[in-house]
Structures are given as structure tokens and as C-alpha cells.
Structure 1
Amino acid sequence: MATYIPNPAEIKRDWLLIDLEGQTVGRAASKIAGLLRGKHKVEFTPHLDAGDFVVCINADKVKFTGAKLDQQTYNKFTGYLGHMKTRTAREMLAKKPEVVISSAVKRMLPKGVLGRQTFKKLKVYAGNEHPHQAQNPKPHEL
């Protein structure tokens, strides 16, 4: 018996819509990373990108547990000496809530070419609206 390996051209990709309102950041990010990689599919193969496209809405309404809202930091380096910008999770949720979810998911994906390719299928939006109505995303519960 030979092991079945799917052909990358034959992989069917769906569009999934996830509402993040009231979800915990880490738990939601790990489930989103699994959907992006395709671990929920029968034809999952670790070295192929078999996952679905994921559209996340209401990223500004996620929650953190414990004191992570003030202790979790996000760094941005401009490239110049002494220009490391550090913000807490509370500041990031107020200014750029999409970055909170996308950075959490990105850290859970494989490093390298496969991880970068997989990460491009994630679309995160702060509000209820998204520009992917033409793809007819299916609502998905986490």
C-alpha cells in the first residue's frame, strides 16, 4: 500500500469566516493556525500547503486572560540604533487590533517558505465589514 500524497493542484481551498468577538487571543490563534495549515482536512500533508483561506472579523473585540493586557509587549524595530518601539497589548488593541491576531497566528506557523506562504491566506479586520463577500466565506465556529 502506497501512502497517498495529494497533488498541490488538486487541493480544494475554502473561505472560512471567523468572528473573534469574545474569543481568547491564544486559543483562537492556535485554531486559526490549524485551519490555515489544513490540519482539519483528511488530505493534510505536513510539507504541503493544504489549508483554507481564513477571514477574521471583530479583531478589536478579542480578550486576554490574566494580566496579559498590560504585560504582553509588541516590538517594532525601525532599523536605527535606539529606535525599538514597544507597545503593550492594551495599546495595540486600541491602535492596530489586526496586528494582535496576525502576529499571534504568524508565530504559530512553521518558519520558512511554507509558513510565509500559509500566512498569506489570513485576512484580519478590526470591524464587522470585510471586502471578501465575492468569495462567499462560510461561517466557522472556533
Structure 2
Amino acid sequence: MSTFIPSAKSIERRWHVIDAAGRSLGRVASLAAKVLQGKHKPIYTPYIDCGDHVIVVNAAQAVLTGQKEEQKLYRYHSGYEGGLREERAKDLRQRRPSRLMEEAIQGMLPKTTMGKQMYRKLNVYERADHPHVAQKPQSLEVE
């Protein structure tokens, strides 16, 4: 008996909605990363992108536990000498709240070309409304 290996064409992609209001940022991000990779499916294959699309709503209301709001730093570099910039989570939440969720989820995905492909299936919105109603997304609960 041979082992079943799915092909890229045979994978059925679904849409899922995760409500982040009042939930821990890390728990929402880990669930989203798992679904984007396809690890929730029985046909999961590490070298094939078999994940689903994920919509995260109410990203601005996700909670950071402990002192992370004041102490967590997000760093990025302009590419020029001395171009390292740092920003606290509190300031980033005021400026662009959805970026906190995007950074957390992207950090949990593989750092490969396939990881970038998985990241493209992520949609993060600050509020409860989203333009993907036509895709009939299913709701996912965060534990």
C-alpha cells in the first residue's frame, strides 16, 4: 500500500475568521500560523503549502500580557549606516495596531519562500468588518 501524497492542485483552500478581541496576541497568532501552514489538516505535508486563508478581525483589541506593552521592542533597519530604529509595542499599537498581529504571525511561519507564500494568505483588520464575506469564511475559536 502506497502513502498518499497530495498535489498542489488537489488541495482545497478554505477561509477562516479569528476574532482577536480580548484574546492574547500570542494565542491568536499561533492558531493563525497553524492554519496558514495547514497543520490542522490530516493531509499536511511539510514541503507543500496546504494551508488555508486566515482573516483576523479586531486586531487592535488583542491583549499583550504582563509588561510587554511597555517593554517589548520592535526593531527595523533602513539599510543605511546607523539606520536601526526601535519602537515600543505601546507606540506601535497607537500608530498601526494591525502590525502587532502581523509581526507575531509572520514570526511563527517558516523563513522560506513557502513561508512568504503562506503569509500572503493572511488578512488582518483592526475592526470587526472585513471585505471577504463572499468567500463565506468559517469562524475559529481561540482557546
- Flag whether TM exceeds 0.5 (same fold): yes
Task: Compute the displacement of 1:82 (Å).
Answer: 2.3
Equivalent position of 2:116 in the other structure: 116
State the Cα RMSD in Å.
Answer: 1.0
Structure 2 distance, partners of 1:38, 1:85, is: 34
Equivalent position of 2:19 in the other structure: 19
Equivalent position of 1:97 in the other structure: 97
Tell me the number of residue pairs that the alignment of Structure 1 and Structure 2 aligns.
Answer: 142
Matched, 1:136 2:136: yes
Where does the alignment leave 5 or more consecutive residues of structure 1 unmatched?
Answer: none
Tell me the TM-score normalized by structure 1. Answer: 0.95
Task: Compute the displacement of 1:108 (Å).
Answer: 0.7
Equivalent position of 2:61 in the other structure: 61
Could you tell me whether the CA contact under 8 Å between 2:18 and 2:28 is conserved in 1?
no
Equivalent position of 1:126 in the other structure: 126
Equivalent position of 1:40 in the other structure: 40
DSSP-derived class of the 1:55 partner? strand
Where does the alignment leave 5 or more consecutive residues of structure 2 unmatched?
Answer: none
Tell me the TM-score normalized by structure 2. Answer: 0.94
Name the amino acid aligned to 1:84: L
The percent of aligned pairs where both chains have the same amino acid is: 39
DSSP-derived class of the 1:8 partner? coil
Equivalent position of 2:2 in the other structure: 2
Structure 2 distance, partners of 1:133, 1:94, is: 28
